[in-house]
Chain A
Amino acid sequence: MEKKMTWKELIVGDILEGGTSLKFKTGNWRSKRPVHIPEKCINCLICWISCPDDAIIVDKENGKFLSFNYDYCKGCGICAYECPKKAIEMKEETV
Chain B
Amino acid sequence: MGIKVVKTGNEAFAEGMRQINPDVVAAYPITPQTEIVQIFSQFVADGRVKTEFIQVESEHSAMSACIGASCAGARAMTGTSSQGLAYMWEMLYIASGLRLPIIMAVVNRALSSPINIHCDHSDTFGARDSGWIQIYSENVQETYDNLIQGVRIAEHPEVRLPCMIMTDGFILSHCLETMEMLTDEEVREFVGEPPERGNLIKAVVENKPITIGALDLQDYYFEHKRQQAEGMKNALKVIPEVGKEFGDKFGRYYGMVENYKLDDADIGVVVIGSTAGTAKEAVDKLRSRGIKAGLLKIRVFRPLPVVDIKESLKNLKVVGVMDRVEGMNAFCGPLYSEICACLYELEKRPILTNFVYGLGGRDVKVEDIELIFNELLRVLEKGVKEYTLKYIGVRE
Contact = CB atoms under 8 A, between A and B. Distances in A.
Contacts of A12: 99, 160, 198, 227, 231
Nearest to A24: B215
A59 to B, nearest CB: 27
Interface string A13-47: 11111111000000000000000000000000000
Contacts of B251: none
Given A4-B219, A5-B223, A6-B223, A11 B199 contact: yes
A15 B71 contact: yes
B382 interface: no
B213 interface: yes
Nearest to B71: A15
A47 B223 CA distance: 38
A7 B227 contact: yes
B5 interface: no
B160 A14 contact: no
A10 interface: yes
Nearest to A4: B219
Contact of B100 (A5, A8, A10, A13): A13
B199 A7 contact: no
Interface string A53-79: 000000000000000000000000000
Contact of B211 (A7, A8, A10, A20): A20
Given A5-B223, A20-B214, A13 B209 contact: no
B208 A18 contact: yes
Contacts of A13: 97-100, 160, 224, 227-228
Contacts of A6: 223
A9 B224 CA distance: 10
Nearest to B160: A12
8 contacts: A7-B227, A11-B198, A13-B99, A14-B98, A14-B212, A15-B213, A17-B202, A20-B211
B158 to A, nearest CB: 10
Contacts of A17: 199, 202, 208-211
A54 to B, nearest CB: 16
B223 A15 contact: no
Contacts of B198: 11-12, 15
Given A7-B222, A14-B214, 15 more contacts: A5-B223, A6-B223, A7-B226, A7-B227, A12-B99, A12-B198, A12-B231, A13-B228, A14-B212, A15-B199, A15-B210, A15-B211, A16-B211, A17-B199, A18-B208
A50 to B, nearest CB: 22
B224 A10 contact: yes
A17 B202 CA distance: 9
Interface in B188-234: 198-200, 202, 208-214, 216, 219-220, 222-224, 226-228, 230-231
B210 to A, nearest CB: 6
A18 B224 contact: no
Nearest to A12: B99
A11 B71 CA distance: 14
Contacts of B210: 15-18
Interface string B96-121: 01111000000000000000000000
